[in-house]
Structures are given as structure tokens and as C-alpha cells.
């Protein structure tokens, strides 16, 4: 009797080592025809897993390499795929499964080239690996996959287990959760941009976004876990204003914030800056944001579509245009959130923010730096960028 009770109480904890098998409920294109981007809305069922999450969290997906690429690697290396190997946890599996779920056969790494070079007598690889040739090596790696290396410099691998030393471990990919469990208790929704490009005469796909774009229709199952991020939460106080800067897929967590407010969990005044290339094709969740604006869930919406006019306009330009109002919100204690591109957008937004503070405080750039540092310390300037 006691044992039964203990078993009933036991809850399963899902993590990257023990992922939950989530069924895909929906997978549809958000971007319109003619868009240069392919951004998808994906809904994953949580069933009766008991998984909980909050706006600001991400879902981790353990991706699988495409079987065409796996078979091609096996063929090139003269393996059948049935060879037994041990995975990173020491569990027995076969080489086909290992190349599908455990090892990076996409994007080529310097470490792989270095290890591979020791198996071949290729003078070209030796040259790339010479001290001082990092730029040449980086140029070689850019746009190439493991298969390109195997084709370019064939080598013989005797022991399939050796591939676990040659190839990096396939890591899970994180995607901001775009829905609130207050409205959708049994699922998580994601906003995924499919990475797709041409290099060396082939179309390449990002491992995980490519899988979600091409091989994850409704009904299939994906191994997932929740990656909690307590540093990207809505303010505890339900009245504090919230400024959200989320161009492209960066808008995902803010859709979750808005759903949370719609569910009645706070009154936060909300201001969203959204941007992308063209309003006609790339205005993700347009109807929802406009409806939220109309019913007062969203208090302000500023959009920046870079290709809708002769000159480029980005979210940071809208922040500059609205800097007086931004300063007013900041003085009311607003939290400032940034999500999306870490390379260019986030630093440009920070510059626009600093300029706004420097100008409207009337106290110049040094004060703006201090102001930003204080906001960061108070956890009121928050970023989730990638
Ligand atoms: C906290 C967090 C939240 C995130 N949220 C989201 C989200 O909501 N939505 C979303 O879409 N993504 C999100 N991401 C990014 C996501 O996790 C993946 O990094 C992204 O989908 C790419 O993974 P992939 O496996 O598809 O591509 P990978 O197989 O990892 O390939 C991407 C790599 O391909 C290479 N590459 C790309 N373009 C080219 C080119 N033209 N030429 C040569 N090489 C190229 C680059 O090296 C690039 O790093 C988030 C990341 C983090 C850390």
C-alpha cells in the first residue's frame, strides 16, 4: 500500500537527458509568400506530462540529423549503420542512431578538421591548421559540413566509436516559448525561423530549424524539455510598465507576455517594438497584435519594416523617434526587454536606448551609462538574445 502511494506521488522530471516526447499539434508558415524568410508557428502538446513553464522560458528540442545525410556519411565511411557503439552516457546503440541523434554531421568544426587531418595526409588540411592560419581555417569551415570534409579529403576509419572523438556532440536548440500556459495549459507554442542557405552548390538547412521546417508535420513526436529563465520574467508587480523590443522571432516571448496579461494575470501597461523586412509578408502574428492593441491589452505598438521604403528603418530607429515617450515610461519604472538577434540588433537597440536617456535626462552620455548600469543591476533592462 505504502509503495503504491509513493509511486503515485512520484512526478517525472523532464530535462535534456530525459526529454519529454511531445506531439506536434500544429506547424504552419507565418511568413507570407514572397518573403525572404521562412518563419513557422509550431505547437507542441504537453499531454499529461505535468510540465509547467512561464513567459520568458524556452523549450529545448533535441534535433535529429536528416536520414539522407546520415546514410551518405555511412556510405562514404563504408559502414552499414548497424555497427554497435556506445553513446555519451555509455549506453549501447548503433552507429546509424548515433549519427542521427548524438553527433554533429552538419556545420563543420575546427576540432573535427584537426582530428580528421591526423587521419589523412592532405597537405591542404595541414596548411589550414598551421599556426597563424586561423582566418583561412574559418573561411574553410564557413558553409561546409562534415560530408564536405569527407568528400574533399577521404580517410579510413577502422573503429566506428572513433566518431565520438572526431565529431562534437549534437546539442539541443532552444526556442522562446510564444504562449502562456494561462491560456494554453496543455501545449507550448514556438516561433521558429528556418535557417536555409546555399553553399558549395548545395542547399543547407539548420539542423533543428530545418527539421522543424521540413520533417516535423503535425502528428510527429519531438524530444523536448523546458529551459527556465528566471531572468526574463514579467515584473512581479502587476502595474509596472513593460517595454518590449522583439524584431523577427524575438517577438515570441512577448506574445507569451501578452497572453499572460490577456488571461488576467497582470495589468502591466505594455509597449511593443516589432520589426522585420516587409509588413505584407513578415508581420508575424499581425492580427493578434492588432486585436490586442484594439482591446487595450497592448498599449502601444511601433513597427519598423526595413524594406518597405527606399531607406532602411529598424526598431532602434523607432526607439529614437519615440525617445521622449520612452523616457517618460522609464521614469514610471518601466522594465525594458530585448529579445532576438545578438549580433547587430541588441547592441544597436542599446545605443538608441542610451541616446534617449542622454538626451531626455538632459545629463549626457555618462549619466546614460550609469542609468543603464543601474537598470541592469535592478534587473529592469533584460535581454534574451541569440
Ligand atoms: C535562449 C534562446 C532562444 C532562442 N529562441 C529562438 C526562437 O524563438 N526562434 C528561433 O528561430 N530561434 C531561436 N533561437 C535560436 C535557435 O536556438 C537555433 O540556434 C536556430 O534555430 C539555429 O539552429 P539550427 O539547428 O537550425 O541551425 P544550425 O545547424 O545550428 O546552423 C546554424 C549555423 O549555420 C551557419 N550558417 C547560417 N547561415 C549561413 C550561411 N549563409 N552561410 C554559411 N553558414 C551559415 C552558421 O554557422 C549558424 O550558426 C534561440 C536561441 C537561444 C539561445
| Nearest-angstrom CA–CA distance, 110 and 113 | 5
pLDDT reported for residue 79: 98
pLDDT digits (tens, 9 = 90+) for 315-328: 999 999 999 999 99
- Residue nearest to ligand 1 atom 10, measured at CA: 192
The residue among 114, 147, 166 that closes a domain is 166
Instruction: Determine whether the shortest distance from the Cβ of 199 to ligand 1 is under 6 A.
Output: yes
Set of cell numbers at residue 169: 556532440
pLDDT at 1 over 90: no
Phi and psi at residue 182, in whole multiples of 5°?
-65, -30
Instruction: Determine whether the shortest distance from the Cβ of 195 to ligand 1 is under 6 A.
Output: yes
pLDDT digits (tens, 9 = 90+) for 242-279: 999 999 999 999 999 999 999 999 999 999 999 999 99
What CATH number does the domain containing 82 carry?
1.20.990.10
- Residue nearest to ligand 1 atom 7, measured at CA: 175
Which residue, chain included where needed, has cell 516535423? 216
Phi-psi region of 34 (alpha: psi -120 to 50; beta: other; left: phi over 0): left
pLDDT reported for residue 168: 97
Q: Please indicate, yes or no, whether residues 322 and 297 belong to a single structural domain of this protein.
A: yes
Residue 321, class by beta-carbon neighbours within 10 Å (0-12 exposed, 13-18 middle, 19+ buried)? middle
For the chain, helix, strand, coil in percent to 5 are 40, 20, 40
pLDDT at 2 over 60: no
pLDDT at 184 over 70: yes
Q: What's the pLDDT band for 10 if we cut at 50, 70, 90?
A: low
Which residue, chain included where needed, has cell 528566471? 230
Q: Please indicate, yes or no, whether residues 378 and 363 belong to a single structural domain of this protein.
A: yes
pLDDT reported for residue 3: 43
Q: Please indicate, yes or no, whether residues 197 and 262 belong to a single structural domain of this protein.
A: no
Strand partners, 273: 245, 302
Q: Please indicate, yes or no, whether residues 318 and 264 belong to a single structural domain of this protein.
A: yes
What CATH number does the domain containing 190 carry?
2.40.30.10
What percentage of the chain carries pLDDT values higher than 90?
97
Q: Please indicate, yes or no, whether residues 156 and 238 belong to a single structural domain of this protein.
A: no
Q: Please indicate, yes or no, whether residues 77 and 153 belong to a single structural domain of this protein.
A: yes
Instruction: Determine whether the shortest distance from the Cβ of 189 to ligand 1 is under 6 A.
Output: no
pLDDT at 107 over 60: yes
Is the pLDDT higher at 9 or at 368?
A: 368
Q: Please indicate, yes or no, whether residues 135 and 89 belong to a single structural domain of this protein.
A: yes
Compute the average pLDDT of residues 359-384. 98
Q: Please indicate, yes or no, whether residues 150 and 112 belong to a single structural domain of this protein.
A: yes
Q: Please indicate, yes or no, whether residues 30 and 14 belong to a single structural domain of this protein.
A: yes
pLDDT digits (tens, 9 = 90+) for 208-250: 999 999 999 999 999 999 999 999 999 999 999 999 999 999 9
Instruction: Determine whether the shortest distance from the Cβ of 245 to ligand 1 is under 6 A.
Output: no
Instruction: Determine whether the shortest distance from the Cβ of 249 to ligand 1 is under 6 A.
Output: yes
Set of cell numbers at residue 263: 488571461
Ligand 1 centroid vs 333 CA: distance in angstroms? 34
Compute the average pLDDT of residues 188-199. 98
Q: Please indicate, yes or no, whether residues 136 and 285 belong to a single structural domain of this protein.
A: no
- Residue nearest to ligand 1 atom 34, measured at CA: 206
pLDDT reported for residue 380: 98
What percentage of the chain carries pLDDT values higher than 70?
97
The residue among 129, 146, 166 that closes a domain is 166
Phi and psi at residue 128, in whole multiples of 5°?
-60, -30
Compute the average pLDDT of residues 90-100. 98
Ligand 1 centroid vs 194 CA: distance in angstroms? 8
Q: Please indicate, yes or no, whether residues 353 and 248 belong to a single structural domain of this protein.
A: yes
Does residue 209 contact residue 157 with C-beta atoms inside 8 Å? no
Q: What's the pLDDT band for 12 if we cut at 50, 70, 90?
A: confident
Q: How many domains, the chain?
A: 3
Q: Please indicate, yes or no, whether residues 218 and 255 belong to a single structural domain of this protein.
A: no
pTM comes to 0.96
Phi and psi at residue 210, in whole multiples of 5°?
-65, -40
| Nearest-angstrom CA–CA distance, 259 and 44 | 17
pLDDT at 193 over 70: yes
Set of cell numbers at residue 82: 548497424
Instruction: Give Cα 309 to chain centroid, integer Å.
Output: 29
For residue 24, the enclosing domain spans 2-60+174-227
The answer for residues whose C-beta is within 8 angstroms of residue 105's C-beta and 6 or more apart is: 65, 69, 70, 73, 99, 145, 146, 147, 167
Amino acid at each position: 500500500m505504502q509503495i503504491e502511494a509513493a509511486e503515485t506521488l512520484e512526478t517525472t522530471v523532464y530535462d535534456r537527458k530525459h526529454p519529454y516526447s511531445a506531439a506536434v499539434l500544429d506547424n504552419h508558415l507565418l511568413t507570407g509568400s514572397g518573403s525572404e524568410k521562412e518563419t513557422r508557428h509550431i505547437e507542441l502538446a504537453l499531454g499529461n506530462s505535468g510540465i509547467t513553464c512561464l513567459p520568458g522560458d524556452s523549450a529545448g528540442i533535441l534535433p535529429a540529423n536528416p536520414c539522407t545525410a546520415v546514410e551518405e556519411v555511412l556510405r562514404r565511411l563504408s559502414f552499414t549503420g548497424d555497427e554497435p557503439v556506445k553513446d555519451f552516457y555509455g549506453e549501447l546503440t548503433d552507429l546509424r542512431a548515433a549519427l542521427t541523434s548524438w553527433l554533429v554531421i552538419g556545420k563543420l568544426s575546427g576540432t573535427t578538421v584537426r582530428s580528421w587531418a591526423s587521419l589523412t595526409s592532405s597537405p591542404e588540411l595541414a596548411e589550414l591548421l598551421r599556426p597563424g592560419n586561423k582566418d583561412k581555417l574559418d573561411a574553410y569551415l564557413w558553409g561546409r559540413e562534415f560530408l564536405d570534409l569527407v568528400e574533399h579529403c577521404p580517410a579510413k576509419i577502422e573503429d566506428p566509436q572513433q566518431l565520438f572523438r572526431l565529431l562534437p556532440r549534437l546539442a539541443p536548440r532552444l526556442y522562446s516559448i510564444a504562449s502562456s500556459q494561462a491560456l494554453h495549459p496543455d501545449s507550448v507554442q514556438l516561433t521558429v525561423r528556418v535557417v536555409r542557405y546555399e553553399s558549395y552548390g548545395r542547399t543547407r538547412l539548420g539542423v533543428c530549424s530545418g527539421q522543424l521546417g521540413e520533417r516535423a508535420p503535425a502528428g510527429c513526436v519531438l524530444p523536448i524539455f523546458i529551459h527556465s529563465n528566471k531572468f526574463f520574467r514579467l515584473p512581479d508587480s502587476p502595474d509596472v510598465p513593460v517595454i518590449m523590443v522583439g524584431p523577427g522571432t524575438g517577438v515570441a516571448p512577448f506574445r507569451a507576455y501578452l497572453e499572460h496579461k490577456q488571461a488576467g494575470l497582470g495589468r502591466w501597461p505594455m509597449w511593443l517594438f516589432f520589426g522585420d523586412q516587409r509588413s505584407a509578408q513578415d508581420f508575424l502574428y499581425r492580427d493578434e497584435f492588432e486585436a490586442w492593441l484594439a482591446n487595450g491589452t497592448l498599449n502601444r505598438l511601433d513597427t519598423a519594416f526595413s524594406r518597405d521604403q527606399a531607406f532602411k528603418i529598424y526598431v532602434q530607429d523607432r526607439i529614437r523617434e519615440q525617445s521622449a515617450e520612452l523616457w517618460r515610461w522609464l521614469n514610471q519604472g518601466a522594465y525594458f526587454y530585448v529579445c532576438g538577434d545578438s549580433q547587430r540588433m541588441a547592441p544597436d537597440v542599446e545605443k538608441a536606448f542610451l541616446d534617449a536617456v542622454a538626451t531626455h535626462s538632459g545629463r549626457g552620455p555618462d549619466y546614460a551609462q550609469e542609468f543603464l548600469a543601474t537598470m541592469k543591476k535592478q534587473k529592469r533592462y533584460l535581454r534574451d538574445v541569440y
